[in-house]
Amino acid sequence: MAAMFLMLMFVSIAEAQVFDIGKYGGKPNSNIAQALTSAFTEACASTTPSKVLVPKGTYNLSPVKISGPCKAPIEIQVHGIIIAQTENDPATTWVSFQYIDHLTLSGGGVFDGQGHKVWGKCGNNNYCKHLPINLAFNFITNGLVQDVTSKDSKQFHVNVLGSKELKFLRFKISAPEHSINTDGIHIGRSKGISVIDSRIETGDDCVSIGDDSQQITVTGVTCGPGHGISVGSLGKYQNEGPVIGITVKNCTISNTMNGVRIKTWPASFPGTASNMHFEDIIMNNVGNPVLIDQVYCPWNQCNAKLPSRVKISNVSFKNIRGTSSTPVAVKLACSSGIPCQGVEIANIDLTYTGKDAPKALSQCSHVQPKVSGRMNPPACNSPVGAN
């Protein structure tokens, strides 16, 4: 069904009417905010499929909101390099796509957030939270983002909120390891989101999955540098929706702070996270390659003495191999208040590359995992409550 939808979508867009920003005053080396929004407004009003075209060239762009609903499928095809303004801006997002059904963003272009000019001004305590996200996809349905690049975002590269059936294909994210709070793709309150055959290099999580996310698939992703691929953190806020159905498969993670992890806050509000599966993953020099962390408490901004109240269940880590840059290659630190249930680990082969310990280790607390296949390091399947 999904393949048929994409085929029909491509056929319709191939026959689309073209709205070139040049016809609306958009010229290289100028601010194309007005030209882009004008072209989109006319294209969005078309009752037949339409295409907004940004030709090759280098353009400047102040913050814009690309808003629907539209009357027919619409493609925004970016061939050029689009550069954000470098001064601080009160906007929370640089380019926002919202309330659009059947949106395609394509063309091989680059969205350059110019983050390298502001990262060093953030200070140690605010984590650049006032700076804009490169791209937001809010309440998008049946969307496709392919063959475009997000470069040097000032904060998150991509934020997905309230969207359904949105696919990222051959999407590239490029930022250095020292970039602050630059999550690659953050997904929250969305369903049916896929990240496929993409490359993510950044300073925070390559993919982060927040609350009320369901049926999320991450496959064929190359991650690193960064902090790995994460579910959470969960439980910090009241009334968070459940996380259900996460698949991370056929990925390569290199030179990252973490590998694949699930993280929840101690002293948390109640919540659930279930049906999460991490399979066929290569780790290259990765810290904490396999991690459940229910005592996640960065910067000591929580009460670590109280247990997390997020229930984690039906989790598997299978066919994970490579090298760990930390001695504890597999760590399952579950909640003392609500121990993890239905955790399975199978065919793990992780070698510690450091010199201060001869072999990699496993650690478990408040979980009794089901173990099968090859296990290097040896699995911990200690009783609930043991360390």
- pLDDT tens per residue across span 365-383: 999 999 999 999 999 854 3
Burial class (CB in 10 A: 0-12, 13-18, 19+), 176: middle
Residues in the chain: 387
Q: How many helices (H) and strands (E) does the chain have?
A: 2, 30
Residue 170: C-alpha distances to residues 147, 148, 159, 196, 220 (Å): 5, 8, 17, 7, 9
Which amino acid is located at 348 in the chain? I
- Which domains does the chain show, CATH number per domain? 75-115+130-376 (2.160.20.10)
Site of tokens 């070698």: 351
Indicate if the pLDDT at residue 127 is higher than 50.
no
Residues 28-45: tens digit of each pLDDT: 999 999 999 999 999 999
User: Can you read off the two tokens belonging to residue 102?
Assistant: 């059947």
Section 94-113 average pLDDT: 98
* Active-site residue set: 227
Buried b (16+ CB within 10 A) or exposed e, 288-315: bbbbbbbbbbeeeebeeeebbbbbbebb
For residues 192 and 166, the answer to whether their CB atoms sit within 8 Å is: yes
Residue 309: C-alpha distances to residues 158, 230, 234, 244, 340 (Å): 29, 18, 10, 16, 11
User: Can you read off the two tokens belonging to residue 65?
Assistant: 């909101």
> How far apart, in Å, do the first and last CA atoms of the chain sit?
47
Candidates 100, 89, 111, 33; CA nearest to 67 is: 100
Number of Cβ within a 10 Å radius of residue 373: 12
Quick one: what percent of the chain has pLDDT higher than 70?
A: 91
Residues 47-91: tens digit of each pLDDT: 999 999 999 999 999 999 999 999 999 999 999 999 998 766 667
The helix or strand, by DSSP H or E, that contains position 225, with its residue range, turns out to be none
